[in-house]
Chains A and B, each alone.
Chain A
Amino acid sequence: MNKTTWYEALPEVWIATLETLYMVGVSFVLTVVGGVAVGIVLQVTSPSGLRPMRALNTVLGVIVNLFRSLPFLILLIALIGVTRFIVGTAIGPTAAIVPLTIGAVPFFARIVESALREVPRGRVEAAQVMGATDGQIVRKVLVPEATTALVAGATLTLVLLVGYSAMAGVIGAGGLGDFALVYGYQRFNTPVLLVAVVVLIIMVQIMQSAGDAIIRRLAHRR
């Protein structure tokens, strides 16, 4: 069997790229929604938060730490049953969205928690003396005032998801990681492997630059 040349592989690289963008994109949106929710609960229920709730804060903190302490590869395999239950299959980009999201939410939740904690206490108190409810303080003070840190954290998370999605290739998720593994690594086709790597690098660069550009535009909000 002749090796595929790297340019012959390009159409497949394109499909793999789209698969990666799809699973990273969807899991990113889900991660942002879930991470913001969990992060807000973590901060608001912390001892210095708006509504300290020791038990809830501790339990949630332990769960988050548990998922964060597992290497992603282990999590991927451990979640195969859960994925099959939710999506109906454990293979392909749609199935990969489940472990990607579950792996990234705890990470982003901690970023959200610390970003909210960095909002100067005086601004929260100013809102309190103006008669704002706790819900209004979260929506109108904590989250908007933390926007810069949240965008920076979201960029980190997006890049992390690209890395995770490549790892998900191990369990047949599709995408660039899967492609590099199957065509490049297992068939000893280094040029094809390199093409996949270059596409991943470019993808990460674009994401980081976009995040930095948004942060620059928000600079006046610090």
Chain B
Amino acid sequence: MIVVENLVKTFPGVGGAGTVEALRGIDLEIPTGEIFGIVGPSGSGKSTLLRCLNLLERPTSGRILLGGDDLSTLSGADLRSARRRIGTVFQQFNLLHSRTVLGNVEFPLEVAGVDRTQRRTRVRELLELVGLAGKESSYPSQLSGGQQQRVGIARALAAEPDVLLCDEATSALDPDTTDQVLDLVAEINRRLGVTVVVITHELGVLRRVCTSAARLESGHIVETGRISDLVADPGSMLGAAIVPVGDDPSAGPIADTALVTALGEDAHGPWLSDLIRTVDADVAVVGGRVERVGTTTVGRLRLRFGGAVDRDAVARFVGDRPHLTLSWGTDTDLEGLAG
């Protein structure tokens, strides 16, 4: 379990003028075994948060606890051994080009003083795990981007860390390769039980692998929760971003529409025709999307009912079905969703 308590990081301003507050009091709890996504626009503090988590930056104040140990105040040998508990996968891979694949993957073990035969055994296991067996003696420049990132992942796992941090790890890869690398991360999470923290600006990453997420904006966590709860919550901006309904302003005011979210089996079921029969109303679908999110399916539809619909009847219909949630549109929704 990673606990971040009131984490603040300020940097001296450009030209020594004042300070820049990158993180303004972050509180986060990341349970063991999660794949936790941290999203936010550029400049929101994502990178600073990651650099605090992998101990490249020392927080100005606040604490970072990993399994109960405070990592934010360490230095020297303690800092170096704490860093080995956290493996980082970088956007630009950051492999050593003077070393072969083997040399790169064994690097964390080599600097930790693990002997050569043990290193070689471990590297072989790791390359097997990431699907690069037989590539030991290749140099990074001879590999594709996806292969380089697999080396990056193997290297990050070499010292058997408790946490795998992915810093925009798929942002430099093409869509197909991105999916393969994400699937590998999910598989590693499943097989090794390692907690994964993913920093990304790509919502597709949240959709495909994350179990929980937090949204960061100007140095604050503005929203956090399990993905399944976020997408079921009609008021969640993260949920709306993960499964956007694509509200079309020309479809008329949003105030008299209903947003229905269907999860799991209900998403596949004939709930819409049931609803129409039950409340006996005309229905227009003005927006909607069905997405695969992690291992489940989420459908979100924005409906406009013709004539005077009995809202209580709609609410009762939804209330009877555990995987459906309902919210009536308000005019403020449009502004919120536009963001």
B-binding residues in A (CB < 8 A): 120, 122-123, 125-133, 136, 140-141, 144-145, 147, 220-222
User: Within the assembled complex, what's the spacing in Å between the Cα atoms of A131 and B82?
Assistant: 8
**Given contacts A130-B155, A145-B98, A140 and B141 within 8 Å (CB-CB):** no
Residues of chain B in range 79-125 having any CB-CB distance to chain A below 8 Å = 80-81, 83-84, 86-88, 90, 92, 94-99, 107-108, 110-112
Interface contact B94-A130, CB-CB below 8 Å: no
Other-chain contact of B83, A130, A141, A222 (Cβ < 8 Å): A130
Closest B residue, CB atoms, query A219:
B141
A7 vs B96: C-alpha distance when bound (angstroms): 54
CB of A126, distance to nearest CB on chain B (Å): 4
Q: Point out which of A127, A128, A129, A220 has the most chain B C-beta atoms below 10 A from its C-beta.
A: A129
Bin the interface of chain B by size.
Answer: 20 to 34
Which residues in B have their C-beta under 8 angstroms from that of A122? 90, 92, 94
Residue in A140, A145, A222 whose beta carbon sits within 8 Å of that of B110 in the complex: A140
Instruction: Give chain B's interface residues, CB within 8 Å of chain A.
Output: 54-56, 80-81, 83-84, 86-88, 90, 92, 94-99, 107-108, 110-112, 139, 141-142, 155, 159
Q: Judge whether B97 and A132 touch: CB under 8 Å.
A: no
A129-B56, A130-B111 are contacts. A222–B90 as well, Cβ < 8 Å?
no
Most buried by A among B81, B90, B96, B141: B96
Q: Are the CB atoms of B97 and A131 closer together than 8 Å?
A: no
Chain A residues near B155: list those with CB within 8 A. Answer: 130
Q: How far is the CA of A221 from the CA of B87 in the complex (A)?
A: 24
B81 CB contact (under 8 Å) in A120, A123, A131: A131
Question: Are A222 and B88 in touch, CB under 8 angstroms?
Answer: no
Check if A221 sits within 8 Å of B141, measured CB to CB: yes
Give B80 Cβ to nearest chain A Cβ, in Å. Answer: 4
Residue of A nearest to B108 (CB): A130
State how many angstroms separate the Cβ of A115 from the closest Cβ of chain B.
Answer: 13
Whether A145 contacts B96 by the Cβ 8 Å rule is yes
